[in-house]
């Protein structure tokens, strides 16, 4: 499992970044993201599993979650399924036009009755707009996004996240963020438990227990899964061989790459690549 700081870019025409992703469980994501910008994740089709600050929840079609600034999160389909997700990532620079300070700005979408339903309806309209071929569809999207901004700023601002505040969050992710940022930059070489624990100035035994508690996976398993995801992506995107993908992405040898792939996907890397390639060919021919 991977924490990754997400750098968000914004279209000058639209006051939020809008993304649609169609995700299959056979390539289901394992990396956890975090960024300063609040975000909405809306399920356009299928069912999704969302993890927010270590807490899991399942979302059906038409449901969504609100992610506050620096929430550690991931969204992916349930096992043996697929889903389409709409991501609406807010622009803090845009919000600054209406609110003098955005430092520590948080939203509680359940604080006022009916607001969550209204935001959900607007997200549904944004979702529907992707079937609109009009040259002016971005005008609709801007209107819907601005209505969401209005509802959140008018009704849902709850408190600011201050240093040493006792209310945020349920779990302390600060050490994990530092560690994972380091691992994400160095996964292609050997990283020991002693090395990573020293980065966050914790003892190896304490860091090991802490990491397992906040990420729900051990340090070694996280690192192996990250390497697996990167190696598989190299094989799919760059046609890299099994041996080259293994060595490029930090596996000690090809055997350890194959073993991890069998553990996660119940097949070898070559078999996994063939399965995904054949599926993509079928999709294109239909």
Q: Are residues 129 and 7 in the same domain?
A: yes
- Does residue 193 lie in a domain region? no
Structure tokens at 273: 């690549």
Domain total for the chain? 2
211 located within any domain: no
Q: Which domain holds residue 144?
A: 2-160
The CATH number given to whatever domain includes residue 148 is: 2.60.120.10
Return the axis-axis angle of helices 269-285 and 254-265, rounded to nearest 10°. 50
Decide if pLDDT at 276 tops 70: yes
Looking at the fold, whether 147 and 21 belong to one and the same domain comes out as: yes
Tell me, yes or no, whether 14 and 136 share the same domain: yes
Q: Tell me the Ramachandran region of residue 31: left when phi exceeds 0, alpha when psi lies from -120 to 50, beta otherwise.
A: beta
Note whether 115 and 234 are same-domain residues. no
Average pLDDT over residues 73-92: 88
Same domain, yes or no, for 135 and 251? Answer: no
- Let me know if residue 96 belongs to a domain: yes
Has residue 146 got a pLDDT over 80? yes
Task: Report the run of H or E that residue 41 belongs to, with start and end.
Answer: strand 39-46
Better pLDDT: 45 or 78 = 45
Looking at the domain assignment, is residue 180 inside a domain? no
DSSP state of 49: E
Is residue 60 domain-resident?
yes
Show Cβ contacts of residue 76 under 8 Å, excluding neighbours closer than 6 positions.
23, 25, 28, 29, 30, 48, 49, 83
Q: How many residues does the chain have?
A: 286
Q: Model's pTM, two decimal places?
A: 0.64
- In this structure, what are the phi and psi dihedrals at residue 39, rounded to the nearest 5 degrees? -150, 150
Domain boundary among 144, 160, 176: 160
Q: What is the mean pLDDT of residues 144-173?
A: 70
97 and 238 in a single domain? The answer is no
DSSP 61-92: TT-EEEE-TT--EEEEEPTT-EEEEEEEEE-H
DSSP letters spanning 2-40: EEEEPPP---TTSSEEEEEEEEEGGG---EEEE-SS-EE
CB atoms within 10 A of CB 67: 24
**For the residues 147-167, what does the mean pLDDT come to?**
72
Are 130 and 249 in the same domain? no
Say if residue 101's pLDDT is above 90.
no
User: Do residues 16 and 153 both lie within one domain?
Assistant: yes
pLDDT value for 14: 64
Structure-block tokens of residue 75: 């969204």
Please provide the average confidence, as pLDDT, over all residues in the chain: 83
Q: Are residues 85 and 222 in the same domain?
A: no
pLDDT in tens, 171-214: 567 787 788 888 888 999 999 999 999 998 889 999 998 888 77
Does some domain include residue 249?
yes
Q: Are residues 118 and 229 in the same domain?
A: no
Its sign, for the CA torsion 276, 282, 285, 286, is negative
- Write out the two tokens for 154: 């008018």
pLDDT in tens, 109-128: 998 999 999 999 999 999 99
Boundary-marking domain end, from 117, 145, 160: 160
Task: Tell me whether residue 170 is in a domain.
Answer: no
């Amino acid at each position: 499992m991977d924490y990754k700081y997400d750098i968000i870019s914004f279209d000058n025409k639209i006051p939020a970044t809008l993304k649609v992703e169609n995700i299959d469980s056979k390539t289901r994501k394992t990396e956890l993201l975090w960024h300063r910008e609040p975000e909405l994740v809306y399920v356009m089709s299928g069912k999704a599993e969302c993890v927010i600050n270590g807490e899991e929840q399942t979302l059906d079609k038409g449901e969504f979650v609100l992610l506050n600034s620096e929430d550690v999160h991931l969204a992916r389909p349930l096992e043996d399924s697929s889903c389409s997700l709409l991501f609406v990532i807010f622009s803090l620079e845009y919000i600054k036009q209406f609110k003098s300070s955005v430092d520590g700005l948080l939203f509680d979408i359940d604080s006022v009755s009916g607001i969550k339903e209204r935001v959900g309806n607007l997200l549904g309209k944004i979702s529907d707009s992707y079937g609109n071929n009009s040259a002016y569809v971005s005008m609709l999207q801007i209107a819907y996004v601005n209505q969401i901004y209005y509802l959140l700023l008018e009704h849902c601002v709850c408190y600011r996240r201050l240093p040493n505040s006792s209310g945020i969050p349920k779990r302390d992710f600060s050490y994990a963020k530092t560690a994972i940022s380091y691992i994400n930059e160095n996964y292609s070489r050997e990283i020991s438990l002693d090395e990573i624990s020293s980065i966050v100035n914790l003892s190896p035994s304490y860091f090991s227990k802490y990491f397992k508690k906040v990420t729900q996976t051990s340090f070694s398993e996280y690192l192996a899964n990250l390497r697996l995801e990167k190696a598989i992506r190299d094989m799919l995107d760059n046609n890299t061989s099994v041996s080259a993908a293994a060595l490029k992405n930090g596996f000690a040898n090809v055997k350890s790459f194959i073993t991890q792939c069998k553990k996660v996907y119940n097949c070898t890397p070559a078999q996994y690549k063939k399965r995904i390639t054949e599926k993509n060919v079928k999709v294109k021919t239909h």
